[in-house]
């Protein structure tokens, strides 16, 4: 083997090691971010039909028609962040004002997931994603705010800490803010 070939071989090996370390660091960072939760929300516009309907008219329980300041959380077992949110909610005490919608899976799969989590919240199974589609939800985790018995806003959540922030601020919109422009903490991410 010539010196040039030896140098090329060594450089190639170092490059493979460097790329491996960089990928490992990126994966470790992504897992850490998911565990800590990205503290952002990304608002989305609810369809016009949502502003003209009561929650029960779109498939939610009728008792939500009279709610002030309730959050409807959409989570899916296919979503890594949703799984972390589910585990967090499972381990925490119940907070007033939250209903969980399990979506994007078979009824039996969603019921089993919710059973394992044993959430201390009302749970709605949206196995055909009809409810999520009616509300314009294109991904999860997502939260819909209800104020004065009507839909107030929609937002995608970046992680567990974003959910905690929205839960903490839910009283802000409970006092009647139902404009499509009243979104909780929309961040520019």
- What is the CATH architecture assignment of 38-174? 3-Layer(aba) Sandwich (3.40)
Q: What percent of the chain has pLDDT over 70?
A: 74
Q: What is the DSSP string of 127-151?
A: TT-HHHHHTT--SSSEEEEEETTEE
Kindly report the number of other CB atoms within 10 A of residue 22's CB atom: 10
Q: What is the pTM of this model?
A: 0.72
Phi–psi pair at 159, nearest 5 degrees: 175, -170
- CA 109/CA 61 separation, integer angstroms: 21
Kind and range of the H or E run holding 157: strand 150-157
pLDDT, one tens digit per residue, over 59-113 is: 898 888 887 778 999 999 999 999 999 998 887 766 678 899 999 889 999 999 9
Domain coordinates in residue numbering, the chain: 1-36, 38-174
pLDDT of residue 90: 87
User: Mean pLDDT of all residues in the chain?
Assistant: 79
pLDDT of 135 > 60? The answer is: yes
Using one digit for the tens of pLDDT, what is the confidence trace for 7-39? 887 777 766 565 655 444 544 544 444 444 466
Residue 187, pLDDT above cutoff 90 = no
Distance CA 131, CA 46 (A): 12
Give the strand order in the sheet containing 142-147: 41-44, 150-157, 142-147, 70-75, 98-103, 123-126
Q: Closest by alpha carbon to 151, among 74, 67, 82? A: 67
Please give the backbone phi and psi of residue 135, each rounded to the nearest 5 degrees, phi first: -95, 5
Q: pLDDT confidence of 123, banded at 50, 70, 90?
A: very high
1: its two tokens: 């083997």
Specify burial of residue 115 (Cβ count, 10 A radius: 0-12, 13-18, 19+).
exposed
- Quickly count: other Cβ atoms within 10 Å of residue 164's Cβ: 17
């Amino acid at each position: 083997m010539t010196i040039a070939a030896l140098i090329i071989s060594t450089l190639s090996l170092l490059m493979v090691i460097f790329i491996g370390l960089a990928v490992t660091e990126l994966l470790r960072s992504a897992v850490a971010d998911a565990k800590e939760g990205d503290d952002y929300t990304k608002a989305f516009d609810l369809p016009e039909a949502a502003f003209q309907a009561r929650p029960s008219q779109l498939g939610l329980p009728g008792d939500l028609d009279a709610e002030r300041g309730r959050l409807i959380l959409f989570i899916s077992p296919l979503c890594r962040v949703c799984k972390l949110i589910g585990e967090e909610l499972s381990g925490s005490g119940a907070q007033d004002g939250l209903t969980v919608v399990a979506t994007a899976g078979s009824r039996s799969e969603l019921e089993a997931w919710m059973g394992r989590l044993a959430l201390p919240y009302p749970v709605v199974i949206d196995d055909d994603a009809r409810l999520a589609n009616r509300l314009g939800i294109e991904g999860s985790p997502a939260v819909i705010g209800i104020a004065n018995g009507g839909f107030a806003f929609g937002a995608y959540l970046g992680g567990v800490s974003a959910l905690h922030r929205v839960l903490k601020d839910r009283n802000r919109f409970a006092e009647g803010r139902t404009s499509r422009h009243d979104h909780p903490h929309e961040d520019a991410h």
